[in-house]
Amino acid sequence: MRSWVLAGSRGVHVSPPREFRLTVNGEPRVISAAAERSLLSVVRGELGLTGAKYGCGEGECGSCTLLLAGHPVRSCQVKLGEVGTREVTTVEGLAREGCLTVVQRAFLEAGAFQCGFCTPGFIVGVTALLRENPSPTPTEVREALDGHLCRCGGYLAILSAVDLAAKRLAESGGSA
Ligand code: FES
Ligand code: FES
């Protein structure tokens, strides 16, 4: 069975909803939705995890960043049908037992947000960076965060937060 919707003058294929079994923030979740739905819309709509934001919808702003099997992805560009068995981690799933992570605390301490719209995406992106490379150079930080946009222009404070988090991780020997 196939269904179609019209987008402008083009026909866009939308398959009927079917069941998907996902692991989100360590929990098994069953979702009934079309395979073409974006992971972002499912996480926000069906699962009520609204930390990741819809900014551009085109993979350009980073506000929708989630971890898929530990790797940062633009979830507006990932289709539900592509997720498979890979674990999904949202910003809500980073804290453990009510304790903010080193990265989250560093953002708070550095005042690295104004409106906060971009913050969940940055926190997920920085977490992925520091898990892979706990002592990034300034160039590596800028490269890793290239594609995360902050409309409030809070980049200096965000870079300070990354420095602070890396410093705290070095002191503690812990992991982001
Ligand atoms: S909303 Fe996904 S990159 Fe902008
Ligand atoms: S703090 Fe407003 S968009 Fe970044």
Of 93, 114, 141, the one marking the end of a domain is 93
How far is ligand 1, taken at its centre, from the CA of residue 164, in Å? Answer: 26
Q: Does 79 lie in the same domain as 24?
A: yes
User: Which CATH number goes with the domain that contains 150?
Assistant: 1.10.150.120
Ligand nearest to the CA of 62: 1
- Any atom of ligand 1 within 6 Å of the Cβ of 22: no
> Distance between CA 151 and CA 146 in Å, rounded?
14
Q: Does 106 lie in the same domain as 73?
A: no
Q: What is the pLDDT along the chain (176 residues), one digit of tens a residue?
A: 444 444 444 556 789 999 999 999 999 999 999 999 999 999 999 999 999 999 999 999 999 999 999 999 999 999 999 999 999 999 999 998 889 999 999 999 999 999 999 999 999 999 999 999 999 999 999 999 999 999 999 999 999 999 999 999 999 988 89
With a Cβ cut-off of 6 Å, ligand 2 is lined by 113-118, 150-152, 154
Q: Does 89 lie in the same domain as 63?
A: yes
Q: Does 132 lie in the same domain as 80?
A: no
> Distance between CA 37 and CA 131 in Å, rounded?
29
Ligand nearest to the CA of 72: 1
Ligand nearest to the CA of 147: 1
Nearest to 70 by CA among 84, 83, 87: 87
How far is ligand 1, taken at its centre, from the CA of residue 90, in Å? Answer: 14
Q: Does 131 lie in the same domain as 88?
A: no
Q: Based on the number of CB atoms within 10 Å of its own CB, is 29 exposed (0-12), middle (13-18) or buried (19 or more)?
A: middle
User: Which CATH number goes with the domain that contains 21?
Assistant: 3.10.20.30
Of 60, 93, 126, the one marking the end of a domain is 93
Residue-range definition of the domain harbouring residue 146: 102-172
DSSP 74-114: EGGGSBGGGTTTPPEE-GGGTSBTTBPPHHHHHHHHHT--S
Q: How many domains does the chain have?
A: 2
